[in-house]
Every structure is written in C-alpha cells, then in structure tokens.
DNA sequence: TGAATTGATATGTATGCACAAATAAGAAGT
DNA sequence: ACTTCTTATTTGTGCATACATATCAATTCA
C-alpha cells in the first residue's frame, strides 16, 4: 500500500467525483486515461477501471474505447423507483399495512386493457378488487386482471390473506413490465372505497407485467388523494 | 478457453439468471459459492463474482460474506426514472420541444417552499414561470424559485432562449435532490397556460435540488391533463 | 450458563499480466 | 477527393493470486 489515501476503488471514485463536482474536470472534457490516472494515484489500472465504470454507470462519465473518458455535459442522474409491493411502501411510510379483498371473480377483458396486455379479448381473466389500508385508513384502491394462462395456480388462490400483489410476486415473478402514472378523477367505486368525493384528482398507476411468454397481470392502483410519490435523486 | 459457452461474465450472469427464473435455484435458497460455481463453469472466481455482483445490484440475489449468496425471496426490480430535462422528455415522445418564459422576477419565498428548500423565508429568490410546449401544444407549466446564493450567475441569466431547467443543469449541477409526484386540481394560472379547465386533475411534480452547500432550486411542473409518466420495469 | 475468543468460510477487493474489442487517426492506394 | 487498409490507443475483460473483511459456528473461559 504505497499511498494511504487512494488504496481502494471507492477512494479513487471519490477523488474522480471530487474533480468532476469541483469542475477541475470540466463538463465535456477528456479526463486522464486509466493508465495515467492509475499512475498518478499509485494504484492498479484495474482499480481505476472499477471506479470510473461505477461513475459511468451513474451517467457522470461517458466512456468510449480509444476515444477515452469524458465528463458528461448534462449530468443526468436517474431516480430509482421501487414500488413492487404496496405493503412495503406503506411500511416505509411508518404505517401498518393491511388489505381488504373486496371482490374476486372471472370476467372478460375490456378491450383497452386487452391491448395493454397484448392479449385477445376472448378468454375471461381473473378479476380482483382490493383496498389497501395504512393504519386502517384507505391508502389505495386496486383493480386487477390476472391471466390464468400464465399463472394457473391463481384460479385457486385466495387473496384475502395474502394480497394478490404479493401472491403473484412469489408465484409468478415477472421478466419485464411497464409502469404508467397519470392524474385522473376518481371513479365512483374508487371514490367510495377511498372515502373521497367522486372526481377528486387521484394519482393512478397502471402496471402491466409480463412473464417469459405472455402477460401475467394488469393492475390499476388509484391512490388516496393525499398520496405523494417521492423519490431521491 | 475450455468451455465455449461460459467464457465471459455476461454468459455466467445469463446462466445464473436462467437458473433463478427457471427456479432451479429456488427463491430464498443458497446458491453455490463463487468457487464452486466457477469450477462448474470452468472460469475464474473473479468472473463469477462480476456476474453475481451484477445480479445482486439488481436485487435478484442477496449476498453476504461468509453466509453466501441467496436468491431474493421477493425479487423486486427498480424502475429507473430519468427526467432531468423536459426538452429531452418531449423529444423522446417524438415531438419538438419549445418553451415560453412567461415571467421572471424576484420575490419572497412562500413558507411551505422555504421549508422544502431548507431556506429562511427572508431573502427573496428569483422566480420564473415557463410554459413548455411539445409541437406547439402545451405540455407542462413550470413555476420555479432559484436560490441566487447558490447560483449567483442566475441573476443575469435570460431564460427565454435556454430554459431555466437546462441553464441550471449546465451551470449548477446538483449533488442530490428529491422528487415528489402528486395529483392535484389545476390552479387558475396553470389551467390557463395549459388550456384546460380549472380544477382539472393534473399530474404535478415538485422537485428540489441541492448543491454542495444549500438548495439550488425548487420547481413545480404541472403537466397537461393527458400526460402519462411511463417507465419500464 | 453466558460472554468472549478463536477459527473457518464466503464474499470483497487489489494487483499484474495478457489479450480482446472498438475506433480515431493516419497511410496507402484508386 | 474518396475509399480502404493499417496502426495505435484506450477501454473492456479474464485469470491467478493474495490478502481483507464480515460473520457464522464452535470453543474457551469466567
């Protein structure tokens, strides 16, 4: 360990970050090559590589073979959104989660949802309505279609004890999916469940998740009017 | 290269992912140690480490020293949200971005915003109202406070040509910040700018960004009623 | 019995080396 | 001028090795 200060890749990363934020390395400018920087900090090139790769993954650096590494002109940092489980989200807010399975049956798919799921309208899907509560206060009203072709076991599932949300994550983890947030006036059913006036603006999340072959589920979460979706940047 | 199939860490990663998704490695179960797995695939432990680390970063694996690596019980994948620049967002939707700087002055900070920015109410901040357009149609109405303490150059800036959004990203990149989405009835001014009826539900984003010392800016974006925030999962 | 120590084990990381891959820039040929 | 080929440079990755670090588990000691 020749240099006490830059022994690990996280130290190298921190030093590079310092130079970026202090503008010692200007936006758009070429920074020293891995080899040079390694020599300067008396560490191995591998270590520098690890550090710079980490910064590149966060969008602060742009790296190209032969062309070198540049500081991103418009450092855009991505916010991470992790809301796969409503119950977790409620717990994270310091409240105690619970849910009521209001209704569970089987019905044909409305055409606009069929399109979102890339499924034919023909076969009926499992339909579930759930009210999520935080400390016994309405938190979100969930309407969901489940494709039994993708998850046969869902026919026999009982979503009163375990929410459909969690049940599906455990039994049919998805490969990919899409999220869609919008602001919409509360529909009659949702308004009643959430205890607010109809037409009250609510934040609505539509989520479709897909398994290896076909869509697993479509879900719409209508959040209570005071809901805020917050993220760190 | 003894084994054609598992030469690189991405191949190792793919194989591990296959075993997770096929449930050959059950949720919650311990998977082989790096050494074992490396032996099985005839590659170096470093390579396996790289692959498994990548899966762990995505939340599919839980790794602990001495305790080994387990498949996450509830594989939760995070959606990435990248909306630092309105203009980019509009372009990504296939439209042509433009903006109108409606008003630019200096005024005292409302107390609830002061709280969000962790600033005293006393000193007046720069205030800017902007309408963002996509193909000449209203896209979002922006109200913004800028802290001249953090960005002195903002006093002389002209936000008619370059939007405050982009100007700030170029001149005062932030260290961290918070995002807050909610659904709110359109306020009179926003409704007029967006060309919709007052009280129409709109998706509203409140964003605070901080520099190394103090807050840089607070901005509220009220999106047009047909706006959808979409992400991949 | 219970707390502290010790050892074993899996992951985390640093290093030197080699080679692969991408590509910018220059050289050569038309 | 224009295309094609070559070369050099930079990042990307693999491997063997060594040691660091966290932590589970057994053992020792009070």
> How does pLDDT run across B152-169, given as a tens digit for each residue?
999 988 899 999 999 998
Report CA Rg, chain B. Answer: 24
Q: What is the pLDDT along chain A (233 residues), one digit of tens a residue?
A: 333 456 799 999 999 999 999 999 999 999 999 999 999 999 999 999 999 999 999 999 999 999 999 999 988 788 989 888 999 999 999 999 999 999 999 999 999 999 999 998 888 999 999 999 999 999 999 999 999 999 999 998 889 989 999 999 888 888 889 999 999 999 999 999 999 999 999 999 999 999 988 999 999 999 999 999 999 98
Q: What is the 3-state secondary structure (H, E, C) of chain A?
A: CCCCCCCCHHHHHHHHHHHHHCCCCCCCCECCCHHHHHHHHCCCHHHHHHHHHHHHHCCCEEEECCCEEEECCCCCCCEEECCCCHHHHHHHCCCCEEEEEEEEEEECCCHHHHHHHCCCCCCCEEEEEEEEEECCEEEEEEEEEECCCCCHHHHHCCCCCCCHHHHHHHHCCCCEEEEEEEEEECCHHHHHHHCCCCCCEEEEEEEEEECCCCEEEEEEEEECCCCCEEEEC
Residue (of A89, A81, A83) closest to B79 by Cα position: A81
Q: Which residues of A touch B176 (CB under 8 A)?
A: 232-233
Is the CB of residue A169 less than 8 Å away from at least one CB of chain B? yes
Residue (of A122, A126, A148, A169) closest to A214 by Cα position: A148
Provide the 3-class DSSP secondary structure of residue B219: strand
With residue B61 as reference, give the H or E element that holds it.
Answer: strand B61-64
pLDDT value at residue A6: 62
In the predicted structure, residue B6 carries a pLDDT above the cut 80: no
The Cα–Cα gap between A11 and A5 comes to 7
Provide the 3-class DSSP secondary structure of residue B65: coil
Using alpha carbons only, what angle is made at residue A101 by residues A96 and A102, rounded to the nearest 5 degrees?
Answer: 125
Instruction: Give the residue, A210 or B75, on which the prediction is more confident.
Output: A210
Average pLDDT over residues B131-151: 95
pLDDT value at residue B2: 36
Architecture of domain B86-223: 3-Layer(aba) Sandwich (3.40)
Is the CB of residue B45 less than 8 Å from the CB of residue B35?
Answer: yes
Is the CB of residue B228 less than 8 Å away from at least one CB of chain A? yes
As a rounded value in angstroms, the CA-to-C1' distance for A67 and D1 is 26
Indicate the DSSP class of residue B30.
B
Q: Do B228 and A181 touch (CB under 8 A)?
A: yes
Is the CB of residue B85 less than 8 Å away from at least one CB of chain A? yes
pLDDT value at residue A173: 80
With residue B111 as reference, give the H or E element that holds it.
Answer: helix B111-117
Q: Are domains A9-71 and A86-223 of this chain identical in fold?
A: no
With residue B103 as reference, give the H or E element that holds it.
Answer: strand B97-107
Of B75, B85, B177, the CB nearest to A76: B85
Is the CB of residue B73 less than 8 Å away from at least one CB of chain A? yes
pLDDT value at residue A5: 57
Q: Where are the domains of chain A?
A: 9-71, 86-223
> How does pLDDT run across A86-127, given as a tens digit for each residue?
999 999 999 999 999 999 999 999 999 999 999 988 889 999
Cα distance from B65 to chain A (closest Cα, Å)? 18
Q: What does CATH list as the number for B9-71?
A: 1.10.10.10
Nearest residue (CA) to C1' of C16: A44
Instruction: From residue B128, give the alpha-carbon distance in Å to each of B82, B132, B148, B179.
Output: 23, 13, 13, 19
The Cα–Cα gap between A204 and A221 comes to 6
Residue (of A102, A135, A143, A141) closest to A223 by Cα position: A141
Q: What is the 3-state secondary structure (H, E, C) of A60-127?
A: CEEEECCCEEEECCCCCCCEEECCCCHHHHHHHCCCCEEEEEEEEEEECCCHHHHHHHCCCCCCCEEE
Share of residues in chain B with pLDDT > 90 (%): 80
Q: Do B179 and A231 touch (CB under 8 A)?
A: yes
For strand C, the positions having any atom within 7 A of a protein Cβ are 8-17, 20-24
Mean of the per-residue pLDDT values of chain B: 92
A220-233: string of b/e by CB count within 10 Å (b at 16+)?
bbbbbbebebebeb
With residue B54 as reference, give the H or E element that holds it.
Answer: helix B45-57
In the predicted structure, residue B150 carries a pLDDT above the cut 80: yes
Average pLDDT over residues B104-129: 92
pLDDT value at residue A4: 44
């Amino acid at each position: 360990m020749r240099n006490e200060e830059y022994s690990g890749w996280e130290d190298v990363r921190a030093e590079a970050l310092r130079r970026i934020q202090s503008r010692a390395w200007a936006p758009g400018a070429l920074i020293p090559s891995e080899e040079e920087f390694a020599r300067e900090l008396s560490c191995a090139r591998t270590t520098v590589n690890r550090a710079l790769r980490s910064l590149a993954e966060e969008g602060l650096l742009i790296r190209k073979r032969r062309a070198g590494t540049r500081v991103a002109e418009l450092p855009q940092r991505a916010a991470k959104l992790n809301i796969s489980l409503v119950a977790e989200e409620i717990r994270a807010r310091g409240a105690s989660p619970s849910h009521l399975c209001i209704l569970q049956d089987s019905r044909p798919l409305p055409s606009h949802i069929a399109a979102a799921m890339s499924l034919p309208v023909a076969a009926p899907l499992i339909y579930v309505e759930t009210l999520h509560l935080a400390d016994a206060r309405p938190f979100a009203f969930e309407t969901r279609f489940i494709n039994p072709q993708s998850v046969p076991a869902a026919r026999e599932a009982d979503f009163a004890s375990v929410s459909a949300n969690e049940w599906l994550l455990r039994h049919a983890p998805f490969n990919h999916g899409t999220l869609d947030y919008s602001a919409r006036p509360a529909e009659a059913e949702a308004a009643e469940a959430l205890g607010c006036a109809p037409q009250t603006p609510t934040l609505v999340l539509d989520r479709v998740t897909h398994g290896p072959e076909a869509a697993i589920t479509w879900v719409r979460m209508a959040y209570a009017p005071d809901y805020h979706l917050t993220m760190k940047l």
